[in-house]
Amino acid sequence: MSSDDPAELERFILSHTAWSQAPLVPEIRVLLATEVTPLWQATETFLKLHNMEPPFWAFAWPGAQAFARWMLDAPARWAGARVLDLGGGGGLASIAAARCGATVTLVEVDRLAGVAARLNAAANRVSLDVRIADILDADPTEALAGVDVVVVGDLFYSRPLAERVVAFLRAAAGGRDVYLADPGRMYVPTVGVALEVEFEVPVLFDLEGQNMKKTRILKVGADAGGPLFPWP
């Protein structure tokens, strides 16, 4: 079977996860890894065979938990909005936005994440438009046509990725609201962003080395003077 076979990808996901709730978002059911190490090992083998990404989709990262809580606590703001969840993983933030009445597109580079997001959306009776693509080098005006709000959860863990994401977001912020949610990763921008809200998010000690992560939702500005990053 090829890795393009959605049934094979679904089987892999379902056999390595369990239906659970992220601690900050008990109203949404998602497929999450029950233990960190066995899934990571199993996925590494599967990945080598199928040339795929690490299993980010199997964890409720602090970014998506914070976004989902923020959205569900003030749903009116999202009703009718056209939201793009960039790097949405297993879809927790997307599902919350859809629950609030938004029309949601989740964009991912990882096909397994796309399959997990579809399974999770179906379990919560919402529909998501899931796109597997890397849009970071695209013209944001075209890539974001018809999008009112961009949300980006926890994508600032690697410098090359963070640089591409920030360039894209800054351009995107010209015509729409752009928010990122971040638990203090190394490459989160600290200039040209404004604090919206902050959450204490329960996280897995095995992943984060601590049990709680302070997670900030920041609004990205289009025209902030100076660099968006603290490094030269």
Please, which of residues 121-160 interact with ligand SAM by CB under 6 A? 134, 136, 153-155
Supply the Cα-derived Rg of the chain in whole angstroms: 17
Q: Smaller CB distance to ligand SAM: residue 84 or 173?
A: 84
* C-beta of residue 186 within 8 angstroms of C-beta of residue 231: no
Amino acid at 72: L
87 binds ligand SAM (CB under 6 A): yes
Output DSSP code: residue 26. Answer: E
Q: Smaller CB distance to ligand SAM: residue 13 or 86?
A: 86
Pick from 36, 42, 47, 161: which binds ligand SAM (CB under 6 A)? 161
Q: Smaller CB distance to ligand SAM: residue 89 or 192?
A: 89
How many Cα atoms within 13 Å fall on the side-chain side of residue 224? 19
DSSP, collapsed to helix, strand or coil, labels residue 87 as coil
63 binds ligand SAM (CB under 6 A): yes
User: Crossing angle for the helix pair 111-123 and 6-16, nearest 10 degrees?
Assistant: 70
Pick from 12, 46, 57, 70: which binds ligand SAM (CB under 6 A)? 57
Strand pairing class (18-22; 82-86): unpaired
199 binds ligand SAM (CB under 6 A): no
Q: Smaller CB distance to ligand SAM: residue 114 or 192?
A: 114
* C-beta of residue 69 within 8 angstroms of C-beta of residue 25: yes
88 binds ligand SAM (CB under 6 A): yes
Q: Where does this chain bind ligand SAM (CB under 6 A)?
A: 53, 56-57, 61, 63-64, 86-89, 92, 107-110, 113, 134, 136, 153-155, 161
